[in-house]
Each structure stands twice: as structure tokens, then as C-alpha cells.
Chain A
Amino acid sequence: MPDVELKPVSTEHLLRECQREEVFITGSEAVREAIRRANVDIAVAYPITPQSESMHLVGDLYAEGYIRDYFRGENEFAVMSEIAGAAMAGVRVFTATCGPGTLRAFENFPMWSGTRLPIVISFMTRGINSPLTIQPDTIEMGMLLDTGMIMLHAENAQDLYDMILMSFSVAERTSVHIPVGVFVDGFFVTHTRQKVKIVSEDVKLLPYDPTHSPVPTMDMETPPFRYMRDPFVMKSNYISYAAHASWQQEVMAAAERARPHIEAHLGSFVEQENPDAPIQVVACGTAVSQGREAVRMAREEGLEVGLVKIKVLRPAPREEIRRALAKAERIVIPEFNRTGWLAREIASMIPNNDRIAAGPRVFGGMTMPPEVIVDVIKGDVLVGV
């Protein structure tokens, strides 16, 4: 049991009003500190670098009495189903994975959204095979964009800490009730030490209240007990098609309804520095940190450059991006993956796509020197649109 009796408080109170103390910790430790205060009932773990350490530390929290049940599942597909089963029973859950684990588990993610499960999961992003790699890469994020989950991307350990804690209150809203994925770049954030302001140890989030679920919790306490009649799956008729179609639309609508709740915690979906500059660097995750340094270097050389940090990928920051880039003449999008999914996303949101320089892209585990971004800013290195 924890040494002190933890006082349950609202997410707003915990994140905005509680006294904060600055500590020098790794990203994985920031996960532990967030989950220590998240009042999680069940966590299920499966090892994969660079996620493993986070879930070891979550396991320590279980041993200390902060979490009520915890175990190592048999593989990520099973883990995501175990977490789903626990969420269906009406308890608060947490898990984490990355890269190959994400892909192994994939069928579960749209199932979570479709079942309206308020699961919070963290992805410590990593490259995927082949060839085998354990290095940082955000390729999995591009593949998860259409699974129905809300997607937040942390730039650093502070973001990671705050985003995990806020996610429960977004996911668990009656009007939302879909999963939230908190993404963070593996190694770059999980395995480096940073200053993180964390709240005092004597508070925790209020518990999850399953009676607020928009779909019946599977506990035989919540009517109706017969909630479907006729298996619409196998029927070839208009009512069946319409039932499935409207259900999917409702999942998308749930993500839209999350907007004000996400904004209440994050302030905005995107943050912009030097909004009037004709050149804008647009990024998410640690590419933002590299972009910020590149902007500083370019400005030293007399170039007018701004920075757009994207914090929320789903629901899509369409209006925010359109506004931030309305006057930009050149848009540089550095990414930690080979597919350029972020550039594709941005291109789908704004007019005049010839403004986009879709790079630099680094992958395979390489770092992204700010000089490379500066080269693209200057147009010395040409990248695709």
C-alpha cells in the first residue's frame, strides 16, 4: 500500500491546481509518475524495447499497491484483448507497446473504438521489421490514424506525463468513451532524462465510473441484458448496413466531441511560434524539438521562420492547421519515418500544396540534426511534395 492515503481529485484540479515539484527523470519514469496518480485498476504488460521499462515501472506501482491488478500477457494481441475485457467489466485500464507490438495487436484497436472502450494506451514508437530494428521511428502512427482512437503526440517527458494524466478524463466522458493513444518517440524521450514538473504524491484521479458508459458495461447490473436482436452482421439488408454504418459514424462523432475536452487540458491542438513568418516548420513529437533548434539557427542567419507543434493528430487538427499555415509561403515538414504520413495529413488539410517541402525524413533510428532541417528550409536540399 502507498505510504500516504491518496486523495481523489478531479483531473482539472490535479493538473492545474496541485503544487508541482521539478524532478529530473526519464520518459519511462514520467509514465510511472503519471500512472501513480491515475487510479488505474488493471494494467497488462508485454515487453518490447523501448517500451518495456515503462511497464516494469508500472509493475512496481502494482507491487506498491497503486494498481489493483497487473500481469504480463502472452503477446500484444492478447494483451490488448485482456485490457479490452477489463474495460468491458467497467474498470480503468492502462497498457503500452510499440512498433512490432502495435502491429501484432492491430486488430484490437478499431475493435476498442467500435466497442466504445475508454482505454488509455501509450506507444513508445519504434521502427518495424524488416530488417529487425529497435530504433525510434514514428511509422506506426501513420498506420493507426484510421483506427478511431484519439491520438496525442508528446514532444518530451513533460508532455508525456501531462497527456497520460489528462487522457483518462477525455476517454471516459460519456459523450466520448473511445480509446486515447499517447504517443512518444521511443529512446529519444523514454531513455533520456529531462526536467519534469510533477504534482505531489498524495493525490490521485477520481475513479472511473462505469455507470456513465454510453454502452452497457458487461456486468449484468446494467440493463438492457438483451441489447441486440437478430445478428445484423450476417444479414444482407438495408437495416443491417445502416446499423453498421451509423455505428461507425458515431465513433467518428465521438472523437469530434472530444475536441473541447482535449482543448480544456492542452489549450490548443497546435502551438505556433513566429506565426507571421513566411516559412513554417510543422512537426510533432521530438521532430518539434529538432525543428525548434533549426528555426533558431535559421533565424540567426536572418531567415524568417516559424514553428508549428502539433499535439493532437486525432481528431484531426484541420482548422488549426489551416489557420496556422494560411499565410505561409513554404511549409517544411520534418518527420521520423520513411512514409511521410504527417506531410500527407497536412497536404490533405490545406490549399496550395506546392508550398509543402515534405521532409527531411530520417528513419532507421538516425537522429535528425537541425542542420538538415535548415538545409530544407533554405531550399539547399530538395525534398518531395
Chain B
Amino acid sequence: MSLEITRMNPHFADVMPQEYTDLVENGPFGRDFGARDLGSFKELFEEHPMCAGCNLSLAFRIIVASLPNPADTIMVGSTGCNSIAFPQLALHNVHSLFGNQNAIASGLKRGLALRFPDKVKDVVVVAGDGATADIGLDMTLHSWFRGEKFATVMFDNEIYANTGGQESGMTECGEIRNMAPTGKKFNKISVANLAIEAGCAYVAVVTTASPLKISKCFEKAVLVAREIGPTYVQIYTPCPTNLKLKSSESVSLAKERSKGTYQFREHVSPEAEEFLAARAEKTEEQVRVTSKDEEMHSA
């Protein structure tokens, strides 16, 4: 979008809500803020009513802050706890049905590609483990098989959190959950393996224990999806409410799991590797040029 769109009519400046003024004056549209800068700029996602200690909202906050091109990003969610987060987001976003997020995103991305052939329009899907791996698995996989160019993020709390803590396909084997009163009878689904098999150009598995890793992986996923093909990022986001943890314990749990059963994994296709390397080189070049500029200015 043109930043002109957000510019305020000076005659209305005194009646605009403070949060809008803040967004225009110190928001991320057209500026290079990232997860590292959290706390220093007006965020697109805020004042959410999620539970205390919610790791999903933490991950949401990080990825929104890490969008490489927020001014031209449309996000697609699904029914679940993320649908309580989405209304707090100052980006165009879609809630449509439970599980159809990757189908919606397929049509959306194709439609935007037709309307804006010369402009980058990033589409990002964010959905729960139930939405991604259970009820919407066919659409998750088929969007990957078709090579649809958008990033898919799973907030994996290993549970149907929003409906009260039922077993999902992402629950670990043996765990006792609602609707699994004697323990889950089959293994956690490896959606990351499915993603690789289905042809995703970039796949990462991370936890809320490493916010900057989430940020880096997510940014790569968006960029690779834009240029090469589908990407997948799975973020472990334990739910203190359903796991009956103190809110302070939930990130500790993520830390613990990241050393054991939820270790960092990254898969980068050769094409994506080449693209990311070329991009890193370009950025370095830019940094060199800018710091030279600065040197000259300060001299």
C-alpha cells in the first residue's frame, strides 16, 4: 500500500484516536522495525485479551513484529485461540472457518497476484495445531503440493486450547487430555516431515524459548514463500491455562522441551538456500554502504 493511505488529514489530527496517531508516527509501516526493536515502536498487535502467560500471543507478537513487509501483508487465521488475537491486529486479516485457512490463502494469494502483478503482497497463514494438522490437514498439504506461495505458521500448543483442552493430532503419545481420557494412543504427527515431503522450500521447528530464532525463521519463511514456494514454521506455544501451569512456568516448559522433545530443526531447499545467501550478501552490501554513508556524514 502507499503510505499516503495512512497519512492523517491535518484537520482531523486533534480528533484521531491516540493509537492511530501513534501508528502513523511510530508504527512499522514503511520502517525497518523487527522483533529486536519490540518496546521501541508502536506495534500492529496489542491490547489482546489472551490468558496471562499465553505463549500463543507471545509468538504472535514476535511474528507480527518480524514481518518483512507489513504494509503489504495479509494474514489468514483459523478458528481457535488465534481468533481472539486477530481482531487486535492492524493488518487486513481473514477469519473464515475452522481448518480452511490454507485454502483461503491459496485463493487470496492468487487473486492478489492477478491484481498486483508488479507489487509484493505477502500472505501469511497462522493457525493452531488442530486447524493445521487435524481438521485442515488436507488443505494444508494440498496447498503445499500445489506450490502455493505463502507461509504457513502453526501455533502448536499440542491441544485444542480454545475448546477446553482436548487431544489433537499434535498431542504427544500417552498424554491424558479431554477426549483422550486414558491417554493419546498414537504419536505426535510430524507435520514438519510432511512439509518437507510435500515440497516446502523452507521448514523450521522452534519454540517460544527462543524469540529471536522465531523471528529469524519466520522472516525467512515469508521471504522464501514470496520468491520460491510454500514454507512452514511450527512454533511450540504451550498453553498455561489448559496445562494448569502458572503463567511464569510456561516459557520454562518451552525451554525444557526445546532441549528435549521439541528441538530446533530447519530444512532449507537448495533453491531457498541460494536465494537466502544472495539476499544476505545484498543486505551486507547495503549495511556496508549505509555505514560508509554515515561515516561520511559524521566526518
Contacts and interface: CB of A to CB of B under 8 A. Distances in A.
A109 to B, nearest CB: 11
B72 A220 contact: yes
A107 B114 contact: no
Contact of B74 (A73, A87, A219, A234): A219
Interface in A6-43: 41-42
B110 A86 contact: yes
Given A220-B121, A228-B87, A89 B107 contact: yes
Contacts of B146: 71
B139 interface: yes
B114 A75 contact: no
Contacts of B84: 231, 233-234
B100 interface: yes
Query: Which of B5, B87, B90, B110 lies at the interface centre, i.e. has the most chain A CB atoms within 10 A of its CB?
Result: B110
Nearest to B50: A231
Contacts of A111: 96-97
Contact of A88 (B88, B104, B121): B104
Interface in B78-128: 83-84, 86-94, 96-97, 100, 103-112, 114-116, 121
9 contacts: A42-B111, A81-B107, A86-B111, A89-B112, A91-B115, A108-B97, A219-B116, A225-B90, A228-B87
B114 A81 contact: no
Contacts of A84: 96, 104, 107
Nearest to A225: B90
B139 A81 contact: yes
Query: Which of A69, A85, A88, A93 lies at the interface centre, i.e. has the most chain B CB atoms within 10 A of its CB?
Result: A85
A82 B94 contact: no
Contact of B91 (A108, A225, A232): A225
A119 to B, nearest CB: 10
B88 A223 contact: no
Contacts of A79: 103
B88 to A, nearest CB: 7
Given A75-B138, A81-B97, A231-B49, A69 B112 contact: no
Contacts of B6: 223
Interface size class of B (residues with CB under 8 A): 35 or more
A221 B107 contact: no
A86 B108 contact: yes
A85 B92 CA distance: 13
A71 B146 CA distance: 10
Given A44-B107, A85-B104, A90-B115, A233 B142 contact: no
Contacts of A69: 110, 114
Interface in A213-254: 216, 218-223, 225-226, 228-234
Contacts of A91: 111, 114-115
A373 interface: no
Contacts of A225: 90-92
Given A218-B92, A219-B74, A73 B111 contact: no
A89 B105 CA distance: 10
Nearest to A41: B114
Contact of B110 (A89, A222, A226, A230): A89
A218 B94 contact: yes
B225 interface: no
A223 B107 CA distance: 21
A220 B96 contact: no
A280 B109 CA distance: 51
Given A78-B142, A216-B92, A85 B72 contact: no
A225 B75 CA distance: 11
Given A81-B100, A218-B93, A231-B84, 12 more contacts: A81-B96, A81-B104, A85-B105, A85-B111, A108-B100, A115-B96, A219-B74, A219-B116, A220-B73, A220-B74, A228-B87, A229-B88
Given A82-B104, A90-B111, A231 B89 contact: no
A90 B121 CA distance: 13
Contacts of A107: 97
Interface size class of A (residues with CB under 8 A): 35 or more
B1 interface: yes
B159 to A, nearest CB: 17
Given A218-B92, A220-B72, A82 B115 contact: no
A346 B111 CA distance: 41
A111 B100 CA distance: 12
Interface string A273-305: 000000000000000000000000000000000
Interface in B228-254: none
- List the 6 closest pairs (A to B, CB-CB), nearest first: A89-B111, A85-B107, A86-B107, A81-B103, A226-B90, A81-B100
B103 A220 contact: no
A197 B107 CA distance: 33
B139 A42 contact: no
Nearest to B116: A219
B114 A85 contact: no
Nearest to A229: B87
Contact of A41 (B5, B90, B96, B111): B111
A74 interface: yes
A75 B110 CA distance: 18
Contact of B103 (A85, A90, A233): A85
Contacts of A42: 107, 110-111, 114
Contacts of A74: 138-139, 142
Interface in B130-147: 138-139, 142, 146
A87 B83 CA distance: 21
A79 B91 CA distance: 25
Interface string B52-92: 00000000000000000001111010000001101111111
A77 B100 contact: yes
A162 B176 CA distance: 59
Contacts of A44: 107
Contacts of B111: 41-42, 85-91
